[in-house]
Amino acid sequence: MGKGRVNLKKYNCPNCSAELYWDAAANALKCEYCEKEFQPEELDALAESANAPAPTGAEQVSRETTSQDRASDDSTKIDTSDLVVYSCKNCGAEVITSRSTVATTCAFCGRAISLTDKMVGNFAPEYIIPFAITEDEAKRIYKNYVGHGILSPSKFRSSSQLKKQKGIYAPFWLHSYSEDATLVVHGENLFSHRRGDDKVIEHHMFDVNMNVEGDFKSIPADGLKNLDNNLMAAIEPFDYTKLSDFSPAYMAGFYAEEYDENADETLGRVMERSKNAIETEAALEAGPYETKMVVSYASNLKNKITKYAMLPIWMFNVTYGGKDYQIAVNGETGKVAGKLPISALKLIGAGAGTFLGTQLLAIVVRLFM
C-alpha cells in the first residue's frame, strides 16, 4: 500500500518505433504515425519475449531455480530515465510526467512550472482508471459548463482560457470497511388542542436508541493537500469496475503527483461521509417525528481495506480579476464542477443521498426500546 517500486519507462510502437501515447477515445496506446493501437500488457509481453532468449541445457535448470528470486529483484528496480519532475513555486506541487510531455504550466494551479534536477521517487500506485474522456471532449464540457454561468464575464468564457488545461492522474485512497454504530436520535412532536377556553400545547420528546451496521466500499479521498476536497467530491462517482493494475504506459502524455497525505490521514474525511450516510438512514427509521436530531454517535470499524489508485481528471485553471478559479472534469465520466466568477458556487456536494446510492453496499438498522 505504500510507495513501492515500479519500472517506469516509455513505450514505442512495435510497427514503426515512434513513441506511443494513451488515447482515451481508443482506450489504448496509439501511434500517431501508423495509427496502430496496443494495450500495455501486450507491449510488456512483446518486450519480455524480445529480451528473453530461449535457454538450453544447464542454463534452463539454472533459470528455473532462480526465476522467482530474479522476479523479486526486478520488481525493486527503478528506471526513471524517461520521467521528469516539474516544480511549481506558486502552489508547491511537483508533478511527474514523461520527458516528451510538453510542460509549461502547473496542472493544479495553472502557473508556470520549471524542470528540476530532483530524481523521481518510488512512484508505485496499485491501480489506475485510464482516461476515457479525450482532450477535445473535455474542452467541450468545459465550454458548456462556463457558458451556463449567466452572470460570469464573457472574457472568462472565452476559448483563450483553455491554454491552461491539463490532464492529471490524481492520487486517491479508496477505503472500504464495515461500520457498527450505536446512536441516539432525539425526536420531538408538538400538538395543540382546545380545552374549554384554553389552548393547550403538548410537547412530546423521545430518545430512540439505535444500532446501525453499514458496509461501505471504495469511499474515495484524494491524497493531495493542494487539491480542493469538495471539488474532488463534486465530480464523483468513478466506476471502480474500470480499475486496472497500474502501468506507466497509461501516463504517457499526462501528469501525476505522488500523494502527500497517507491513507490514515484521509480516513477521518471518509468516516465523516459514512457517518453522514448512517445518520441520514437512522433518522428515516427513527419514527414519524416532526424534528429529529442525532445527539449521540459512537462507531467501530471492521474489515478495513484500502487501495491506492490514480484517477483521471482534466483540470482547467483560470485567473480572472486577480483571483484563481479551478474547474475539474472527471476524466472517466465527464462530470464537471467548479467555481465561476460572480455566479454562485456550482460545486455539487457529495450529499448523503447520492452517497447512499453509489457507495453503500448494505445498511441494517435496529431499534432498542
| Mean pLDDT value across residues 119-127 | 73
Higher confidence at residue 138 or residue 164? 138
Q: Is 107 exposed, middle or buried (0-12, 13-18, 19+ CB in 10 A)?
A: buried
- What's the whole-model pTM score? 0.69
| Mean pLDDT value across residues 10-20 | 71
Degrees, nearest 5: CA angle 237-241-246: 100
| Mean pLDDT value across residues 165-181 | 91
Q: What is the per-residue pLDDT for 154?
A: 63
| Mean pLDDT value across residues 276-300 | 90
Taking phi first (over 0 means left), then psi (-120 to 50 degrees means alpha), and beta for anything else, what does residue 50 get?
Answer: alpha
pLDDT > 70? residue 4:
no
CA-to-CA distance for 12 and 189, rounded, in angstroms? 71
Average pLDDT, the chain: 75
pLDDT > 60? residue 17:
yes
Q: What is the per-residue pLDDT for 351?
A: 42
> Which of 149-158, 281-290, 311-320, 330-339 has maximum average pLDDT?
330-339
Q: What is the per-residue pLDDT for 83?
A: 65
pLDDT > 60? residue 135:
yes
pLDDT over 70, % of the chain: 66
Q: What is the per-residue pLDDT for 85?
A: 76
Q: What is the per-residue pLDDT for 269?
A: 93
Banded pLDDT at 311 (limits 50, 70, 90): very high
**Strand extents, DSSP E, the chain:** 21-23, 28-30, 37-38, 83-87, 94-98, 114-115, 127-128, 165-195, 198-222, 244-245, 255-256, 291-320, 323-330, 336-338, 360-368
